[in-house]
Amino acid sequence: MKGNSGFQIGTGVTSIFMIFVVLCLTTFSILSYTSADADLKLNKKNSNNIQSYYDAYSKLNRELAYIDGEIRRLLETESDIGQQALEKVVAELESRTTSDVNATYVLVEQTIQVTLDINMNDKKQLIIESTINTDGVGERCVVDRCYVYTESAGFTQEETLPDMWGG
């Protein structure tokens, strides 16, 4: 009689191998799902941050255009723009209240330095610092800096952003 001299795979080994394959596929599918879900949440958060930035930026630009228009109106009506006329227009601008835009004005010779800020969300503020020239020489309205200010847990970060509006 012939002896049994070969290796034979039984049904138990095949079943164990199939269980192992199913467990691996299940694990990989769960990992893929959680990774995709985390990416979706991150993209939604990023989209909301970008939307709040552009909403805030457009509000600040509208406010800056209004301020520039008021100063332009003064320049067109007054023949002699002196310090008193500039102080008057700054007083008018300071008396104007807006619900969400904070504005500060500083007179420096024939320029008005304007700082506008608005809350983008609970943790971020968008700030535009601009110089409005009233002497008629050079550019009228120059955006000096535009940045996002973040304060969380005692940490302060300023991120300078590119200028997008030149007046």
Q: Rounded to 5 degrees, what are φ and ψ at 149?
A: -110, 125
Q: Supply the pLDDT for residue 159.
A: 58
Q: Supply the pLDDT for residue 89.
A: 78
Q: Supply the pLDDT for residue 20.
A: 96
What are the boundaries of each domain within the chain? 60-160
CB hemisphere CA count around 167 (13 angstroms): 18
Q: Supply the pLDDT for residue 136.
A: 61
Q: Enumerate the H helices of the chain as residue ranges.
A: 11-77, 83-95
From residue 146, give the alpha-carbon distance in Å to each of 122, 126, 129. Answer: 19, 7, 6
For 29-59, letters b (16+ CB in 10 Å) and e give eeeeeeeeeeeeeeeeeeeeeeebbeebbeb
Q: Supply the pLDDT for residue 167.
A: 47
How high is the mean pLDDT in each 10-residue block of the chain (167 residues)? 63 88 97 97 92 88 83 72 76 78 83 85 82 68 73 57 51
